[in-house]
Amino acid sequence: MLVLAVHGSADPAAAATIGRLTSAVEAMSGVRAAVGHLDVQRPSLAEVVREHPRAVVVPLLLGDGYHRRVDVPAVLAGTGCVLTEGLGGEPEVALALHGRLREAERRRGPYARADAVVVAGAGSSRPGGNDGTADCAARLAALLAGEGGLRPVPVIGAYLTSAGPTVPGAVAALREAGYGRIAVAAHLLAPGRFARALAGAGAWTVSEPLADHPRIARLVLARYESARGTRVLRAARLAC
């Protein structure tokens, strides 16, 4: 059994996005997947792991902050469940973000491209909690540089809370530096208040959250496989 540990949101679009991820995971692997929430929504993570002891729990978290290191382990204590690492710091996340960035650019025109990018993470005050966003920004910068172009595309990591620079501050700094088509790439998994806040950042375009991108489903399954020591991913592994 695979349990996805998610933060939870009052936004119905968040549940729909996580639902698409869960469906993709099950379709790719045949593994049963359930969702447990840390806040706001039901069922709670505690309820789900009581029903499914000894499950593999994959935290749908892009940072290594308080939820990953404190909240989730506390819920799982004594359940026999196996807790995997979160999703941050993986190449698949940067590739998914790159795909979402390209989708956002195409909404502005079939050949439109950003001339600067802000990678927007939720933000954490915990040591190491922002490493996932910083890593993703560096990987995205490398991907964009590898595509060539007339001029380099600067990529800046920024945060919505608890850390700096702020997303609006990063957008403003790039605009003052002469960049006009500034894209905000949402280093967020699901819709909610953080994703909504990006609309007010003053960017040229803003990308959609990542959870229902196929690469995220494959990363979740890779975490499951590693914990179980088995391979479950079918031919869908090759699909993008």
For the beta carbon of residue 121, count every other beta carbon within 10 angstroms: 29
The model's pLDDT over 165-217, given as tens digits with 9 standing for 90+, comes to: 999 999 999 999 999 999 999 999 999 999 999 999 999 999 999 999 999 99
Section 128-144 average pLDDT: 95
Q: Average the pLDDT over each of 19-28, 144-153, 155-164, 230-239 and give the range with the smallest value.
A: 230-239
Domain map of the chain by residue range? 2-87+212-238, 91-206
pLDDT of residue 69: 76
Q: How confident is the model at residue 232 (pLDDT cuts 50, 70, 90)?
A: low
Global confidence as pTM: 0.91
| Spatial contact of 32 and 22, defined as CB atoms under 8 Å apart | no
At 182, list the tokens. Answer: 């500034």
**Averaged pLDDT of the chain:** 92
Q: Chain-centre distance of CA 58, in angstroms?
A: 13
| The pLDDT of residue 234 is above 50 | no
Do the domains spanning 2-87+212-238 and 91-206 agree at the CATH topology level?
A: yes
Q: What is the largest CA-CA distance in the chain?
A: 57
- Architecture label for domain 2-87+212-238: 3-Layer(aba) Sandwich (3.40)
- Architecture label for domain 91-206: 3-Layer(aba) Sandwich (3.40)
173 Cβ partners below 8 Å, 6+ apart? 156, 165
Q: How confident is the model at residue 230 (pLDDT cuts 50, 70, 90)?
A: low
The model's pLDDT over 1-43, given as tens digits with 9 standing for 90+, comes to: 999 999 889 899 999 999 999 999 999 999 999 999 998 889 9
DSSP string computed for the chain: -EEEEE---S-HHHHHHHHHHHHHHHHHH---EEEEESSSSSSBHHHHHHHSTT-EEEE--SS-SHIIIIIHHHHHTTS-PEEPP-STT-HHHHHHHHHHHHHHHHHH-TT---SEEEEEE---SSTTTTHHHHHHHHHHHHHHHHT--SS---EEEEESSSSSSBHHHHHHHHHHTT--SEEEEEE-SS-SHHHHHGGGS--SEEPPPSTTSHHHHHHHHHHHHHHHT-----GGGG--
pLDDT of residue 175: 98
CA distance 223 to 233: 11
